[in-house]
Structure 1
Protein backbone atom coordinates (compact mmCIF):
# COMPACT_ATOMS: atom_id res chain seq x y z
CA UNK A 1 0.00 0.00 0.00
CA UNK A 2 1.36 3.42 -0.85
CA UNK A 3 0.84 6.62 1.11
CA UNK A 4 -2.44 6.48 3.02
CA UNK A 5 -4.36 9.46 4.29
CA UNK A 6 -7.18 9.63 6.79
CA UNK A 7 -9.60 10.68 4.08
CA UNK A 8 -8.56 8.05 1.55
CA UNK A 9 -8.80 5.01 3.81
CA UNK A 10 -12.24 3.55 4.42
CA UNK A 11 -12.21 0.13 5.99
CA UNK A 12 -14.88 -2.53 5.71
CA UNK A 13 -15.39 -4.16 9.10
CA UNK A 14 -16.21 -7.81 9.77
CA UNK A 15 -16.65 -9.36 13.22
CA UNK A 16 -16.52 -13.14 13.07
CA UNK A 17 -15.93 -16.13 15.31
CA UNK A 18 -12.64 -17.96 14.87
CA UNK A 19 -14.34 -20.92 13.19
CA UNK A 20 -15.63 -18.61 10.44
CA UNK A 21 -12.13 -17.46 9.45
CA UNK A 22 -11.18 -19.02 6.13
CA UNK A 23 -7.56 -20.07 5.65
CA UNK A 24 -6.56 -16.94 3.68
CA UNK A 25 -8.09 -14.57 6.26
CA UNK A 26 -6.54 -16.45 9.18
CA UNK A 27 -3.18 -16.35 7.40
CA UNK A 28 -3.51 -12.57 6.83
CA UNK A 29 -4.48 -12.04 10.48
CA UNK A 30 -1.57 -14.04 11.87
CA UNK A 31 0.79 -12.41 9.37
CA UNK A 32 -0.29 -8.90 10.43
CA UNK A 33 0.00 -9.71 14.11
CA UNK A 34 3.43 -11.32 13.63
CA UNK A 35 4.62 -8.45 11.46
CA UNK A 36 3.81 -5.92 14.19
CA UNK A 37 4.11 -7.77 17.50
CA UNK A 38 7.05 -10.06 16.71
CA UNK A 39 9.09 -8.37 13.97
CA UNK A 40 8.41 -4.63 14.41
CA UNK A 41 8.43 -4.76 18.21
CA UNK A 42 11.31 -7.25 18.24
CA UNK A 43 9.48 -9.47 20.71
CA UNK A 44 9.82 -13.22 20.48
CA UNK A 45 6.66 -14.76 21.89
CA UNK A 46 3.98 -17.23 20.86
CA UNK A 47 1.17 -15.13 19.40
CA UNK A 48 -1.30 -18.03 18.93
CA UNK A 49 -1.85 -18.38 22.68
CA UNK A 50 -4.84 -20.71 22.63
CA UNK A 51 -7.41 -17.94 23.23
CA UNK A 52 -8.25 -17.18 19.59
CA UNK A 53 -10.77 -20.05 19.14
CA UNK A 54 -12.91 -18.69 22.02
CA UNK A 55 -12.85 -15.10 20.73
CA UNK A 56 -14.58 -13.06 18.07
CA UNK A 57 -12.27 -11.30 15.64
CA UNK A 58 -12.86 -7.78 14.35
CA UNK A 59 -11.17 -7.32 10.98
CA UNK A 60 -10.78 -4.13 8.94
CA UNK A 61 -10.20 -4.54 5.20
CA UNK A 62 -9.31 -1.79 2.71
CA UNK A 63 -10.94 -1.43 -0.72
CA UNK A 64 -8.43 -3.87 -2.21
CA UNK A 65 -9.38 -6.52 0.36
CA UNK A 66 -6.13 -6.24 2.33
CA UNK A 67 -6.37 -6.67 6.09
CA UNK A 68 -5.25 -3.38 7.66
CA UNK A 69 -6.51 -3.64 11.26
CA UNK A 70 -7.72 -6.26 13.70
CA UNK A 71 -8.48 -7.02 17.31
CA UNK A 72 -9.98 -9.88 19.21
CA UNK A 73 -12.99 -9.63 21.50
CA UNK A 74 -12.35 -11.79 24.52
CA UNK A 75 -15.39 -13.11 26.41
CA UNK A 76 -15.78 -12.58 30.15
CA UNK A 77 -14.00 -15.25 32.15
CA UNK A 78 -11.35 -16.15 29.55
CA UNK A 79 -8.63 -13.62 30.42
CA UNK A 80 -10.37 -11.53 33.10
CA UNK A 81 -13.68 -11.59 34.94
CA UNK A 82 -14.71 -8.80 32.57
CA UNK A 83 -14.81 -8.95 28.79
CA UNK A 84 -11.66 -7.70 27.07
CA UNK A 85 -10.17 -6.63 23.78
CA UNK A 86 -6.72 -7.73 22.79
CA UNK A 87 -4.22 -8.22 20.01
CA UNK A 88 -5.15 -4.71 18.83
CA UNK A 89 -3.12 -4.19 15.66
CA UNK A 90 -2.94 -1.86 12.67
CA UNK A 91 -0.66 -2.16 9.68
CA UNK A 92 2.32 0.20 9.72
CA UNK A 93 1.03 1.78 6.50
CA UNK A 94 -2.14 3.02 8.22
CA UNK A 95 -0.47 4.63 11.24
CA UNK A 96 -1.40 8.27 11.74
CA UNK A 97 -4.63 7.96 9.73
CA UNK A 98 -6.99 7.41 12.65
CA UNK A 99 -7.44 3.72 11.85
CA UNK A 100 -6.35 2.72 15.37
CA UNK A 101 -9.03 4.92 16.95
CA UNK A 102 -11.61 3.64 14.47
CA UNK A 103 -10.62 0.05 15.26
CA UNK A 104 -10.96 0.49 19.03
CA UNK A 105 -14.24 2.43 18.71
CA UNK A 106 -15.67 -0.32 16.49
CA UNK A 107 -14.40 -2.95 18.93
CA UNK A 108 -16.08 -1.17 21.85
CA UNK A 109 -19.37 -1.02 19.92
CA UNK A 110 -19.15 -4.76 19.19
CA UNK A 111 -18.37 -5.53 22.86
CA UNK A 112 -21.37 -3.50 24.02
CA UNK A 113 -23.62 -5.51 21.69
CA UNK A 114 -22.11 -8.92 22.42
CA UNK A 115 -21.53 -8.48 26.17
CA UNK A 116 -24.12 -5.90 27.27
CA UNK A 117 -23.67 -4.66 30.80
CA UNK A 118 -20.07 -5.84 31.04
CA UNK A 119 -17.13 -3.58 31.72
CA UNK A 120 -13.81 -4.23 29.99
CA UNK A 121 -10.31 -4.93 31.26
CA UNK A 122 -7.20 -4.85 29.10
CA UNK A 123 -3.47 -5.27 29.36
CA UNK A 124 -2.21 -2.28 27.38
CA UNK A 125 1.29 -1.50 26.28
CA UNK A 126 2.23 1.32 28.65
CA UNK A 127 3.16 3.76 25.88
CA UNK A 128 -0.46 3.49 24.63
CA UNK A 129 -2.04 4.47 27.96
CA UNK A 130 -3.20 7.91 26.70
CA UNK A 131 -4.59 6.34 23.53
CA UNK A 132 -6.78 3.98 25.55
CA UNK A 133 -7.74 6.75 28.00
CA UNK A 134 -9.25 8.58 25.01
CA UNK A 135 -11.58 5.57 24.70
CA UNK A 136 -12.70 5.64 28.33
CA UNK A 137 -10.15 3.29 29.89
CA UNK A 138 -8.51 4.10 33.23
CA UNK A 139 -5.15 2.77 34.38
CA UNK A 140 -5.09 0.50 37.40
CA UNK A 141 -1.95 -0.32 39.33
CA UNK A 142 1.66 -0.06 38.30
CA UNK A 143 3.32 -0.94 35.02
CA UNK A 144 4.66 -4.47 34.63
CA UNK A 145 6.63 -6.37 32.01
CA UNK A 146 4.80 -8.68 29.66
CA UNK A 147 7.06 -10.29 27.07
CA UNK A 148 9.71 -7.70 28.03
CA UNK A 149 7.40 -4.79 27.04
CA UNK A 150 6.04 -2.43 29.75
CA UNK A 151 2.27 -2.89 30.13
CA UNK A 152 -0.43 -1.48 32.37
CA UNK A 153 -3.78 -2.96 33.29
CA UNK A 154 -6.69 -0.72 32.37
CA UNK A 155 -10.45 -0.94 32.84
CA UNK A 156 -13.54 0.65 31.36
CA UNK A 157 -16.96 0.71 32.95
CA UNK A 158 -19.90 -0.92 31.20
CA UNK A 159 -21.54 1.53 28.81
CA UNK A 160 -24.99 2.82 29.66
CA UNK A 161 -27.27 1.97 26.76
Structure 2
Protein backbone atom coordinates (compact mmCIF):
# COMPACT_ATOMS: atom_id res chain seq x y z
CA UNK A 1 0.00 0.00 0.00
CA UNK A 2 1.18 3.48 -0.88
CA UNK A 3 1.10 6.28 1.69
CA UNK A 4 0.40 9.58 -0.08
CA UNK A 5 1.55 12.99 1.16
CA UNK A 6 0.82 16.30 -0.60
CA UNK A 7 3.12 19.20 0.25
CA UNK A 8 4.10 22.62 -1.04
CA UNK A 9 7.81 23.00 -1.76
CA UNK A 10 8.65 24.99 1.35
CA UNK A 11 7.38 22.21 3.65
CA UNK A 12 9.45 19.42 2.10
CA UNK A 13 12.16 18.14 4.42
CA UNK A 14 15.72 18.00 3.15
CA UNK A 15 15.49 14.20 3.08
CA UNK A 16 12.21 14.24 1.14
CA UNK A 17 13.60 16.67 -1.41
CA UNK A 18 16.78 14.63 -1.80
CA UNK A 19 14.83 11.36 -2.21
CA UNK A 20 12.41 12.90 -4.75
CA UNK A 21 15.25 14.33 -6.82
CA UNK A 22 17.12 11.02 -6.61
CA UNK A 23 14.02 9.10 -7.83
CA UNK A 24 13.44 11.53 -10.70
CA UNK A 25 17.11 11.29 -11.69
CA UNK A 26 17.16 7.47 -11.49
CA UNK A 27 14.21 7.15 -13.85
CA UNK A 28 14.27 10.17 -16.15
CA UNK A 29 18.03 10.61 -16.55
CA UNK A 30 19.62 7.20 -15.94
CA UNK A 31 16.93 4.63 -16.85
CA UNK A 32 15.57 6.59 -19.82
CA UNK A 33 19.07 7.70 -20.84
CA UNK A 34 17.96 11.29 -21.25
CA UNK A 35 20.27 14.15 -20.41
CA UNK A 36 18.11 17.10 -19.42
CA UNK A 37 17.81 19.72 -16.68
CA UNK A 38 15.40 18.14 -14.17
CA UNK A 39 15.75 20.91 -11.61
CA UNK A 40 14.06 23.53 -13.75
CA UNK A 41 13.12 26.10 -11.11
CA UNK A 42 9.44 25.09 -11.25
CA UNK A 43 9.46 22.88 -8.16
CA UNK A 44 9.09 25.94 -5.92
CA UNK A 45 5.65 26.70 -7.43
CA UNK A 46 4.44 23.10 -7.43
CA UNK A 47 2.52 20.95 -5.01
CA UNK A 48 4.44 17.72 -4.51
CA UNK A 49 2.57 14.42 -4.32
CA UNK A 50 4.79 11.83 -2.66
CA UNK A 51 4.08 8.12 -2.48
CA UNK A 52 5.95 6.10 0.13
CA UNK A 53 5.95 2.33 0.52
CA UNK A 54 5.41 0.41 3.78
CA UNK A 55 9.08 1.00 4.69
CA UNK A 56 8.77 4.77 4.24
CA UNK A 57 10.81 4.80 1.03
CA UNK A 58 9.65 7.28 -1.63
CA UNK A 59 8.74 5.12 -4.63
CA UNK A 60 6.23 7.31 -6.52
CA UNK A 61 5.90 11.02 -7.14
CA UNK A 62 4.22 13.77 -9.16
CA UNK A 63 4.26 17.54 -9.07
CA UNK A 64 1.14 19.66 -9.61
CA UNK A 65 0.64 23.15 -10.97
CA UNK A 66 -2.24 25.56 -10.76
CA UNK A 67 -3.86 26.77 -13.97
CA UNK A 68 -1.57 29.37 -15.55
CA UNK A 69 1.60 28.26 -13.74
CA UNK A 70 2.64 25.76 -16.43
CA UNK A 71 -0.26 25.31 -18.86
CA UNK A 72 -3.55 27.15 -19.24
CA UNK A 73 -5.15 24.36 -17.18
CA UNK A 74 -3.92 22.81 -13.95
CA UNK A 75 -1.31 20.17 -14.69
CA UNK A 76 0.44 17.07 -13.43
CA UNK A 77 4.09 16.49 -14.27
CA UNK A 78 7.18 14.46 -13.40
CA UNK A 79 5.01 11.37 -12.92
CA UNK A 80 7.45 8.71 -11.75
CA UNK A 81 7.48 5.32 -10.05
CA UNK A 82 10.69 3.52 -9.14
CA UNK A 83 11.49 0.55 -11.35
CA UNK A 84 11.28 -1.97 -8.50
CA UNK A 85 7.85 -0.66 -7.40
CA UNK A 86 6.03 -0.59 -10.76
CA UNK A 87 4.53 -4.08 -10.38
CA UNK A 88 2.39 -2.91 -7.44
CA UNK A 89 0.11 -0.46 -9.30
CA UNK A 90 1.63 2.57 -7.61
CA UNK A 91 1.48 4.56 -10.84
CA UNK A 92 -2.30 4.35 -10.79
CA UNK A 93 -2.42 5.20 -7.08
CA UNK A 94 -0.22 8.30 -7.46
CA UNK A 95 -2.28 9.49 -10.46
CA UNK A 96 -5.58 9.08 -8.60
CA UNK A 97 -4.13 10.97 -5.65
CA UNK A 98 -2.79 13.70 -7.95
CA UNK A 99 -6.14 14.19 -9.70
CA UNK A 100 -7.87 14.33 -6.30
CA UNK A 101 -5.29 16.86 -5.03
CA UNK A 102 -5.92 19.12 -8.02
CA UNK A 103 -9.65 19.08 -7.22
CA UNK A 104 -8.97 19.75 -3.52
CA UNK A 105 -6.26 22.40 -3.76
CA UNK A 106 -6.99 24.06 -7.10
CA UNK A 107 -10.78 23.56 -7.24
CA UNK A 108 -10.81 22.39 -10.85
CA UNK A 109 -11.17 19.19 -12.81
CA UNK A 110 -9.56 20.54 -16.01
CA UNK A 111 -6.06 19.07 -16.23
CA UNK A 112 -3.48 19.09 -19.02
CA UNK A 113 -0.38 16.91 -19.16
CA UNK A 114 2.58 16.39 -21.45
CA UNK A 115 2.81 12.58 -21.54
CA UNK A 116 5.41 10.25 -22.92
CA UNK A 117 3.67 8.71 -25.92
CA UNK A 118 4.19 5.10 -24.86
CA UNK A 119 2.11 5.81 -21.71
CA UNK A 120 -1.01 6.90 -23.66
CA UNK A 121 -3.12 3.92 -22.47
CA UNK A 122 -2.04 4.46 -18.87
CA UNK A 123 -3.28 8.06 -18.98
CA UNK A 124 -6.40 7.10 -20.96
CA UNK A 125 -7.30 4.88 -17.97
CA UNK A 126 -7.34 8.06 -15.85
CA UNK A 127 -9.64 9.97 -18.20
CA UNK A 128 -7.02 11.77 -20.30
CA UNK A 129 -7.46 12.19 -24.05
CA UNK A 130 -4.77 13.09 -26.58
CA UNK A 131 -4.93 16.50 -28.21
CA UNK A 132 -2.73 17.50 -31.11
CA UNK A 133 0.12 15.55 -32.62
CA UNK A 134 3.18 13.86 -31.17
CA UNK A 135 6.23 16.02 -30.49
CA UNK A 136 9.72 15.55 -29.08
CA UNK A 137 10.51 16.79 -25.58
CA UNK A 138 14.08 16.21 -24.43
CA UNK A 139 14.45 13.73 -27.32
CA UNK A 140 11.53 11.55 -26.15
CA UNK A 141 8.18 11.33 -28.05
CA UNK A 142 5.39 13.08 -26.11
CA UNK A 143 1.74 13.95 -26.59
CA UNK A 144 -0.43 16.62 -24.98
CA UNK A 145 -3.44 15.20 -23.15
CA UNK A 146 -6.39 16.75 -21.35
CA UNK A 147 -8.90 15.54 -18.81
TM range (shorter): over 0.9
* 2:53 is aligned with 1:65: no
In 1, distance between residues paired with 2:94 and 2:31?
Answer: 20
In 1, distance between residues paired with 2:2 and 2:32?
Answer: 24
Tell me the matched-pair count. 147
* TM-score using structure 2 length: 0.97
1:142 to 133, 136, 145: 133
Q: Deviations over 1:2-53 (max 9, x none)?
A: xxxxxxxx11110000001111110000000000000000000000111100
| Structure holding more helix per residue | 2
Alignment correspondent of 1:125: 116
* TM-score using structure 1 length: 0.89
Q: Which consecutive residues of structure 2, in runs of 5 or more, have no partner in the other structure? A: none
> CA RMSD, aligned part only?
0.8
Q: Deviations over 1:42-74 (max 9, x none)?
A: 000000111100010000111211101000011
Return the offset for 1:118.
4.3
Contact 2:2/2:93 (<8 A) preserved: no
Q: Which consecutive residues of structure 1, in runs of 5 or more, have no partner in the other structure? A: 1-9, 157-161
